[in-house]
């Protein structure tokens, strides 16, 4: 897998958008389209279901040299051998953690990403030793309908102040991608604009082509 700093396009196998498609099929299409990282996001699935999905997706991402991110479930990420785990504010700080060293297994090389929604949260995530952070939601998004958009102002702040890999996320589409890039983003997360496309691999490739 390429170094995290060189990862530009962060895509998703989100069970809310599968519409009957097999998770491994979507993962294969994302790999073919040029995704650098793929997150397995399964908010309504049981732990066993998440584990089974991760076990069938991981060989696909490994063959493609793509990093697999497990959303929320660090134990599953460890068990299946995924390279990354992504945690929200509520999963990390609200759970009483201060630094990722508290949850990092010394026998594992799993890297931890944290969601942030404001500069103060970003600064706290940096101090906590996150390997990368997500900046968003930039725009309103059906993926998190109750989340208030952070707007391009937060993207501009991140471009000026964050010195580790960060990904803009939330409502990013081919129509507004240039706005996000002009605000300083060099890495993006895309969920619905890829998973709702008629051709997932082609949509993924078009985002990848337009990234600097």
Q: Is the model's pLDDT at 9 over the cut of 90?
A: yes
Note the residue count of the chain: 212
13 neighbors 30 (Cβ within 8 angstroms): yes
Q: At residue 106, does pLDDT exceed 80?
A: no
Q: Which domains does the chain have, with CATH numbers?
A: 4-210 (3.20.20.70)
What pLDDT does residue 144 have?
74
Comparing 50-54, 95-99, 104-108, the range with the smallest average pLDDT is 104-108
State how far the Cα of 202 lies from the Cα of 62, in Å rounded to an integer.
21
Residue 185 clears pLDDT 90, i.e. is over it? yes
What end-to-end distance do the CA atoms of the chain give, in Å? 19
Confidence of residue 207 (pLDDT cuts 50, 70, 90): very high
Coil vs helix vs strand at 166: strand
pTM above 0.85, yes or no: yes
Q: What is residue 133's predicted lDDT score, i.e. its pLDDT? A: 98
| pLDDT at residue 198 is higher than 90 | yes
Does 108 have pLDDT greater than 80?
A: no
pLDDT tens profile 109-155: 899 999 999 999 999 999 999 999 999 999 987 777 777 899 999 99
pLDDT band at 180 (very low <50, low <70, confident <90, very high): very high
* pLDDT mean across residues, the chain: 95
Mean pLDDT over residues 22-51, rounded? 97
Query: Helix, strand or coil for residue 5?
Result: helix
Please, where are the H alpha helices in the chain? 23-33, 47-64, 74-80, 89-92, 119-127, 151-161, 177-182, 192-195, 200-210
Give me the mean pLDDT over the 149-173 stretch.
96
Tens digit of each residue's pLDDT (9 = 90 or more) over 78-103:
999 999 999 999 999 999 999 999 99
Which tokens belong to 12? 């998703």
Give backbone dihedrals phi and psi of 161, rounded to 5 degrees, phi first: -125, -15
Q: What is the pLDDT of residue 76?
A: 96
User: pLDDT tens-digit profile of 23-37?
Assistant: 999 999 999 999 999
The pairing of strands 37-41 and 9-14 is parallel
Residue with tokens 């991608």: 177
């Amino acid at each position: 897998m390429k170094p995290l700093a060189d990862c530009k396009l962060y895509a998703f196998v989100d069970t809310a958008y599968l519409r009957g498609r097999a998770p491994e099929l979507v993962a294969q299409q994302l790999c073919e389209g040029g995704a650098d990282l793929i997150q397995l996001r399964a908010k309504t699935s049981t732990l066993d279901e998440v584990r089974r999905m991760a076990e069938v997706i991981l060989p696909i991402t490994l063959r493609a040299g793509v990093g697999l991110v497990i959303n929320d479930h660090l134990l599953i990420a460890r068990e299946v051998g995924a390279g990354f785990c992504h945690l929200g504010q509520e999963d990390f700080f609200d759970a009483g953690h201060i630094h990722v060293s508290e949850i990092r297994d010394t026998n594992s090389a799993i890297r931890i990403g944290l969601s942030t929604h404001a500069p103060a949260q970003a600064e706290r995530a940096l101090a906590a030793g996150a390997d990368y952070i997500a900046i968003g939601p930039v725009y309103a998004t059906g993926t998190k309908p109750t989340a208030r958009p952070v707007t391009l102002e937060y993207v501009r702040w991140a471009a000026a102040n964050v010195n580790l890999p960060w990904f803009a996320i939330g409502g990013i589409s081919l129509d507004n991608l240039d706005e996000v890039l002009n605000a300083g983003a060099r890495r993006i997360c895309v969920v619905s604009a890829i998973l709702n496309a008629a051709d997932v691999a082609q949509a993924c490739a078009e985002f990848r082509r337009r990234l600097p």
